[in-house]
Amino acid sequence: MRLQLCFVPLLAAVWLTLNASPSVGGDSNADRLPRSSPESQGISSEAILEFVNAADQQVDQMHSFMLVRHGRVVAEGWWAPEAADKPHILWSLSKSFTSMAVGLAVEEGKLSIDDKVLSFFPDEAPDDPSANLKAMTVRDLLTMATGHDPIPHMEPDDQWVEKFLATPVVKQPGSDFLYSTPGTFMLSAIVQKVTGETVNDYLKPRLFTPLGIKDPRWDKNPQGITIGGYGLYICTEDIAAFGQFLLQGGKWNGKQLVPEEWVAKATSLQIDNPDGPHSGNADWRQGYGFQFWQCRHNAFRGDGRDGQICLVLPEHDAVIAITAKTSQMQLQLDLIWKHLLPAFKDSPLPEDKTSHARLKSKLKMLRVKSAE
């Protein structure tokens, strides 16, 4: 799956509910994402039930699922013993948040994506840096095109910035996609260098607090730098709120939190990746943005190891948040394309109390498979 710099144990798993009432959803913040019935937002309870059944039966271990349509939560759930108020590790979905930190630092004039990486770390640079290393820019870090092959490998006792810069850059930066968690760490290190704050602290007043994300935990490396490429823990609804914020072009409650231009660039095609990771899976060969994957069906996503997904479907005004512990990430997306994508309608549907009741009944019985 994805390269990780250290191992962080996953949390246990969860209880699933779905309800049209704004008061349901554990620690969900109904003010930030109001609740409504699926039919009122143009999607049938029956289609959601088909998706839940398929995911429960076919995916190794689902932990949570939340569907937002037209800014309203129409389905939400947690496989027991998971819960709405339990933060979940995001693994590489953390990268998409790091992208927002870079965009904010650019807006504040603290850096440019065309700045050379070496310019931020004169004391950590090798004595005789190669021409390729000298050419590497922030943009190359954002697009996973640093020119490394293989990518740097960090050990806990390493000085991570020095190790990254000492690793041979064998290709022209910007020429080839190669997925690099260490590259995202360097973005985090650059933001910390130019702002004097870790990415976690920098984002709290600018993004996390406005989105209602309470007490986000984000692990640091041995030198005290937010890891950036993984290590962030937040709740399922926090993921969904982040997706809705992206869908709204970086705006939340009428305020532009991150420049719309940055969100548009970050979530759109910046580099092709026909030979990228998971090359046998269609949704990993659609191209890459600034720490976001492109998908089929004109969608985009942030994702992470073991099935953490923030999927945004602009054409359908929808966001899907999933946490899990599975290697079947393409299957997760395939089930969305099969069951949910065709069910999005342009107008509200007649309320279907029978199907809604069946859906609720099914969701109450869901449990993580390993916990049975």
The burial class, CB within 10 Å (0-12 / 13-18 / 19+), for 254 is exposed
Out of 3.40.50.1970, 3.90.1200.10, 3.40.710.10, 3.50.50.60, which CATH number does the structure's domain 34-86+236-256+276-344+352-371 have? Answer: 3.40.710.10
d(CA 249, CA 258): 8
Tens-place pLDDT, residues 273-304: 987 655 568 999 999 999 999 999 999 999 99
Q: pLDDT of 52-84, one tens digit each?
A: 999 999 999 999 999 999 999 999 999 999 999
Q: Is the pLDDT of residue 25 over 50?
A: no
For the chain, the C-alpha Rg in angstroms (whole number) is 20
Please tell me if the domain spanning 34-86+236-256+276-344+352-371 has the same topology as the one spanning 94-234: yes
Tell me the CATH number for domain 94-234: 3.40.710.10
Distance from the first to the final alpha carbon of the chain: 26
Residue-wise burial string across 107-136, b where 16 or more C-beta atoms lie within 10 A, e elsewhere: eeebbebebebbebbeebbeeeeeebbebb
Say whether pLDDT at 24 is over 50.
no
* Whether the bond into 150 is cis, omega within 30 of 0: yes
DSSP 3-state of 282: helix
What per-residue confidence (pLDDT) applies to 370? 67
Closest to 55 (Cα-Cα) out of 74, 77, 73, 39: 77
pTM of the model: 0.91
Question: Measuring CA to CA, how many Å separate 318 from each of 26, 125, 227, 297, 299?
Answer: 22, 44, 30, 12, 10
pLDDT digits (tens, 9 = 90+) for 99-157: 999 999 999 999 999 999 999 999 999 999 999 999 999 999 999 999 999 999 999 89
Domain ranges of the chain: 34-86+236-256+276-344+352-371, 94-234
Q: Nearest Cα to 325, choosing from 82, 127, 60, 83?
A: 60
